[in-house]
Amino acid sequence: MNLPFAESFKIKMVEPIRRSTREEREKWMKDANYNLFKLKSDYVFIDLLTDSGTGAMSDKQWSELMLGDESYAGARSYYNMKEAIKTILNFDYFLPTHQGRAAENVLFSVLIKEGDIIPGNSHFDTTKGHIEFRKAIALDVTIDEAKDTQIDLPFKGNHDLKKLEDAMAKHADKVPFILVTVTNNTAGGQPVSMECIKGVRAIADKYKKMVVFDSARFAENAYFIKTREKGYENKTIKEIVKEMYSYADAMTMSAKKDAIVNMGGFIATKHQDLFEKACMFNIMFEGYITYGGMSGRDMNALAVGLDEGTEFEYLETRIKQVEYLGKKLDEYGIPYQRPAGGHAIFIDAKKVLSNVPREQFPAQTLGVELYLEAGVRGVEIGAILADRDPVTRENRFPELELLRLAIPRRTYTNNHMDLVAAALKNVYDRRDAITKGFTIVKEQPIMRHFTVDLERVK
Ligand SMILES: *Cc1c(COP(=O)(O)O)cnc(C)c1O
């Protein structure tokens, strides 16, 4: 008999979670104005809102917390982080920041000015926010296939190199750098191939531009390269990661993802001049250059997390759990962005709730229904998240309208995944009866999804 796959860890510490009744959830959801971000976490049974900062640290990471050096300047912990970034990512210069968007804020303060154009594969919401806040344009050049959830491609997060080349031919003078997001979160946690990364580098070289990696899930991306791209099957994750970053000038990192810490981030670069310019903004916005908004203990845990996060055994356990949930949904016929992503399953809400008009936010509606069904919290990746057009102020309706179920690292078991899938099936079975969604009562001008208030359409 073939042995089944099993997790490459055992559990040393647990945190109780609480079930609730449907009546309780109806009240809590209404009190939260139907915004899942506004729910108390105690009201959530299985929390798939995000995999950001919600993972379980290892015993080794926890032990490093005790060894943190909290010196203001020149802390040992800073040098631990520096060494991990040099060894694993091969960047000579880095700046700690309190999280990924802070790294974007600091780096973009140096690189982006009004009127610039930043081509990339589906800019993440905070990335787009930081670009548009500077009155620049985030130009999406992702392959068109990413917009069809039912096409199964190994590297559905790729740039369309033809679109990128055309954009450069037209706007090169306005482009400060090309962005590579690994994995492509917005398109469904879909990876970018090494071939594509090389192609982006070649175009950047032709126009003498920099390449910046938005790196939150770089290790998951490397796992997909190893398991899906020809020529990489016998390379280690760490070798693949090194090759990926050999094509980069700089990176921003949300360490809350693939460095498996609860808080933290950084900028890394190969260029001394860029580093020096970024230092000023880091000191202004984040903190002195050897801590940048992080505690010494957290820098220690981050250094270990970078190492653990780039081990094959860990990545295999993680990504197979996401796949497991995907296979359950296949059994039930529930459509999601194919193939299963690295960190999440993205349910195709337009297909599931086809009776709910786009203007009434089907993905948000599905998210509320799933919460009411079983206390499972996902997040809308659709028209609410897409914000309004900065110029016309009209609602933007992106091609994809998804409910994302992000799986925290090393946190839930496959029994939890079974419950999530069953809850979704119950909602799916009554989908035809769901005909009304939500309208917006109150919103902010940028990144409105975090704080938006909604009411049911009557
Ligand atoms: C999470 C994320 C960010 C922002 O990082 P935070 O730590 O949440 O500020 C940027 N880009 C991508 C692709 C992300 O997934």
Give the per-residue SS3 of the chain.
Answer: CCCCCCCCCCCCCCCCCCCCCHHHHHHHHHHCCCCHHHCCHHHCCEECCCCCCCCCCCHHHHHHHCCCCCCCCCCHHHHHHHHHHHHHHCCCEEEEECCHHHHHHHHHHHHCCCCCEEEECCCCHHHHHHHHHCCCEEEECECHHHHCCCCCCCCCCCECHHHHHHHHHHHHHHCCEEEEECCECCCCCECCCHHHHHHHHHHHHHCCCEEEEECCCHHHHHHHHHHHCCCCCCCCHHHHHHHHHHCCCEEEEECCCCCCCCCCEEEEECCHHHHHHHHHHHHHHCCCCCCCCCCHHHHHHHHHHHHHHCCHHHHHHHHHHHHHHHHHHHHHCCCECCCCCCCEEEEEHHHHCCCCCHHHCHHHHHHHHHHHHHCEECEEECCCCCCECCCCCCECCCCCCEEEEECCCCCCCHHHHHHHHHHHHHHHHCHHHCCCCEEEEECCCCCHHHCCEEEECC
Could you confirm whether 216 is annotated as catalytic? yes
Could you confirm whether 232 is annotated as catalytic? no
Asked whether 157 lines ligand 1 (CB < 6 A), one says no
Could you confirm whether 124 is annotated as catalytic? yes
pLDDT at 387: 86
- How far apart CA 257 and CA 253 sit, in angstroms, is 9
CB atoms within 10 A of CB 54: 18
Could you confirm whether 59 is annotated as catalytic? no
Could you confirm whether 336 is annotated as catalytic? no
Which residues lie closer than 8 Å to 221 by C-beta, 6 or more apart? 157, 182, 183, 191, 192, 244, 342
Q: What size, in residues, is the chain? A: 458
pLDDT at 30: 97
Which residues lie closer than 8 Å to 355 by C-beta, 6 or more apart? 431, 432, 434, 435
Asked whether 130 lines ligand 1 (CB < 6 A), one says no
* Ligand 1 nearest atom to the CA of residue 99, by list position: 7
Marked catalytic residue, from 124, 224, 281, 438: 124
Asked whether 25 lines ligand 1 (CB < 6 A), one says no
Asked whether 215 lines ligand 1 (CB < 6 A), one says no
Asked whether 214 lines ligand 1 (CB < 6 A), one says yes
pLDDT at 264: 98
Largest CA distance in the chain: 63
Asked whether 256 lines ligand 1 (CB < 6 A), one says yes
Could you confirm whether 103 is annotated as catalytic? no
Work out the angle between the directed axes of helices 100-111 and 272-285 (0-180°, nearest 10). 120
Could you confirm whether 449 is annotated as catalytic? yes
Marked catalytic residue, from 82, 257, 343, 416: 257
Asked whether 121 lines ligand 1 (CB < 6 A), one says no
Marked catalytic residue, from 51, 214, 258, 348: 214
- 64-80: string of b/e by CB count within 10 Å (b at 16+)? beeebbeeeeebebbeb
Single out the residue of 118, 158, 166 nearest to residue 142, CA to CA: 158
- Give me ligand 1 centre to Cα 125, in Å: 8
Residue 231 backbone class (left: φ over 0; alpha: ψ -120 to 50; beta: rest)? left
Asked whether 213 lines ligand 1 (CB < 6 A), one says no
pLDDT at 445: 86
Closest CA to ligand 1's atom 14: 216
- Identify the segments of the chain with pLDDT beneath 70: none
pLDDT at 390: 82
Asked whether 124 lines ligand 1 (CB < 6 A), one says yes
Cβ atoms 165, 203 nearer than 8 A: yes
Closest CA to ligand 1's atom 3: 100
- Give me ligand 1 centre to Cα 190, in Å: 15
